[in-house]
Chain A
Amino acid sequence: MSVIEPIERDLALQQGLGDFFGSCEKLGVSDELFPRILGHVPGYAEAIYEAMYQSHALGNVDHSIKEIIRIQLARHAQDPYFSALRSKQALAAGLDEERIDAGSGDFENDPQFTAAEKWALRYSHLMYRDPAKIDSAFYEEGKEHFTEAQIMELGGMIALHYGMQVFMRTLHAHPVEQPED
């Protein structure tokens, strides 16, 4: 399942992670595996899972574009765990695999994305490939579409999710209910 085995579910419940399991079941990102791995360090499990949930599922930027960004980043990180997971909230809002794949492809020339969405996708695309291109001019362009609070919401979400995706990649983890590759 993972190089680092998750803690037992009962132990996780004793540590107070039950509420997070409810969020996992409701949203689908992550599943229980991630907080149970982090559960080796209970304070981390609470803080990191909560921050990831807040930045992904809540906030003032459309959740579906953040879900496309999250998967784009997971694919770049080559993390099979987070790449395979899908937000039930985004799927219920109409997001499908074709649009998800488009967000990892030639999104710049894809008419299905608005100018704001293209900027957000470019932001995540460049962050870990060519961050030098994310300069003050790039941020000025972003401010044509998003408030500064929304840009911070996007940037923080990108940084946190990518960092945890890189970590999970090294654990060779896979979703609990997905077949291993």
Chain B
Amino acid sequence: MTEELIDEGIDNYRKSAAFTDAEKVALEYSELMQFAPEKIDAAFYGRLREHYTEAEIVELGAFIGFNVGYHTFFRTLDFYPMFSPDGSLVSQEESRRIYGEQPTSHLKGALDRATAGTGDQQQEGGE
């Protein structure tokens, strides 16, 4: 696993040769869960079943849901990793300088893909 592959999995997984069809549908599952869950219908679960067992789908879905819930909460707490990429213990201020801008750098592409053709983002239509 490299940073380049992580970025590819967020920014370009649909066209990338680095991922299998099974991996691509798992990445799409994650992207849609956060940004357009209304697109995850029975047909989408049918696509997942072409590659995964029911148990594996539940494992993926609950894992994704857990991360959707918690990462937004963690964001509000404004905390950063204790260690730099080389393993050194760093202050929160230093860690913010090292990591601070990275988490949001890829969101727009994922959001644009997930909401393409739907008009509004799901979160706006909640209640």
A136 to chain B, nearest CB (A): 7
Chain B interfacial residues counted at CB < 8 A: 33
Interface check A122, CB cutoff 8 A:
no
Segment from B14-22, B59-67, B88-96, B111-119 that makes contact with A? B59-67
Q: Are A3 and B45 in contact (CB under 8 A)?
A: yes
Neighbouring B residues of A5 by C-beta, 8 Å: 54
Neighbouring B residues of A131 by C-beta, 8 Å: 72, 75-76
Chain A residue with the shortest CB-CB distance to B43: A3
Interface check A38, CB cutoff 8 A:
yes
Q: Are B37 and A169 in contact (CB under 8 A)?
A: yes
Q: Are A127 and B76 in contact (CB under 8 A)?
A: yes
- In the complex, number of A-B residue pairs with CB atoms less than 8 Å apart: 100
- What is the CA–CA distance of A139 and B83 in the complex, to the nearest angstrom? 25
Main secondary structure of the interface of B (DSSP, over half): helix
One of A40, A136, A161 near B58 (C-beta < 8 A): A40
- Report if A38-B123 is in contact (Cβ < 8 Å); known contacts: A155-B73, A160-B70: no
Q: Are B76 and A155 in contact (CB under 8 A)?
A: yes
Q: Which of A56-78 contact B (CB under 8 A)?
A: 75-78
Convert A75-87 into 0s and 1s, putting 1 for each residue whose CB lies closer than 8 angstroms to a CB of B.
1111000000000
Q: Are B58 and A127 in contact (CB under 8 A)?
A: no
Neighbouring A residues of B126 by C-beta, 8 Å: 75-78, 129
Neighbouring B residues of A38 by C-beta, 8 Å: 58, 62
Interface check A95, CB cutoff 8 A:
no
Question: What bracket does the count of chain A residues touching chain B fall in?
Answer: 35 or more
Q: Are B123 and A163 in contact (CB under 8 A)?
A: no
Chain A residue with the shortest CB-CB distance to B62: A44
Chain A residue with the shortest CB-CB distance to B59: A41
Neighbouring B residues of A160 by C-beta, 8 Å: 66, 69-70
Neighbouring B residues of A41 by C-beta, 8 Å: 55, 58-59, 62
Given contacts A135-B78, A163-B69, A172-B42, 17 further A-B contacts (CB under 8 A): A3-B42, A4-B54, A41-B58, A76-B127, A129-B123, A135-B76, A155-B73, A158-B73, A161-B69, A163-B67, A164-B69, A165-B65, A166-B37, A166-B68, A167-B33, A169-B37, A170-B37
Residues of A within 8 A of B (CB): 3-5, 37-38, 40-41, 44, 48, 75-78, 104, 127-129, 131, 134-136, 138-139, 155-156, 158-167, 169-172
